[in-house]
Amino acid sequence: MATKEEVKDYYDVHTIVKLKNYVYGNLRVDRATEAIKALAPGPRQYILDIGCGIGQVAMKLANHFQAAAVYGFDISERSIELASRLFGSGQIQFARADTLMEWNLAPGIQFDLIVLMDVYEHIPLNERPGLHAFLRDRLAPGGTLFLSCPTPAFLAWLKIHDPANIQPVDEDIDLPVLQVLASETGTTLKYFEERKVWRSGDYLYAAFNKLPFGYDAKEPKAKAGLAQRIWLKIQRTIYSKAKAEQQKRKQHIAQRTGLVV
Length of the chain: 261
Nearest to 93 by CA among 59, 121, 67, 118: 59
Q: Find out whether 47 and 61 touch, Cβ atoms under 8 Å.
A: yes
- State residue 239's pLDDT score: 47
- State residue 2's pLDDT score: 83
- State residue 89's pLDDT score: 95
Amino acid at site 190: K
Quick one: pLDDT band at residue 249, thresholds 50, 70, 90? confident
- State residue 220's pLDDT score: 44
Strand 139-150 versus strand 203-209 pairing type: antiparallel
* Distinct helix (H) and strand (E) counts, the chain: 10, 7
Q: Count of domains in the chain?
A: 1
In the chain, the N- to C-terminal Cα span, in Å, equals 32
Domain, as residue range, for 36: 4-215+224-257
Sheet with 111-117, edge to edge strand ranges = 92-96, 69-74, 46-50, 111-117, 139-150, 203-209, 188-195
DSSP assignment string, 170-211? -----HHHHHHHHHHHT-EEEEEEEE-SSSTT-EEEEEEE--
Each residue's pLDDT tens digit, 73-93: 999 999 999 999 999 999 999
Spatial separation of the C-alpha atoms in residues 152 and 132, rounded to whole Å? 21
- Could you tell me the pTM of the whole model? 0.85
H or E, element range at 205: strand 203-209
Q: Degrees (nearest 5) of the Cα angle 75, 106, 101?
A: 40
Q: Give the torsion sign (CA, 173, 179, 183, 185).
A: positive
Position 21 pLDDT exceeds 60 = yes
Strand 203-209 versus strand 188-195 pairing type: antiparallel
CATH number, domain of 127, equals 3.40.50.150
Tell me what the pLDDT averaged over the chain comes to.
89
Each residue's pLDDT tens digit, 121-136: 999 999 999 999 999 9
- State residue 221's pLDDT score: 46
- State residue 259's pLDDT score: 85
Each residue's pLDDT tens digit, 216-240: 545 444 444 666 666 666 655 544 4
Spatial separation of the C-alpha atoms in residues 160 and 72, rounded to whole Å? 33
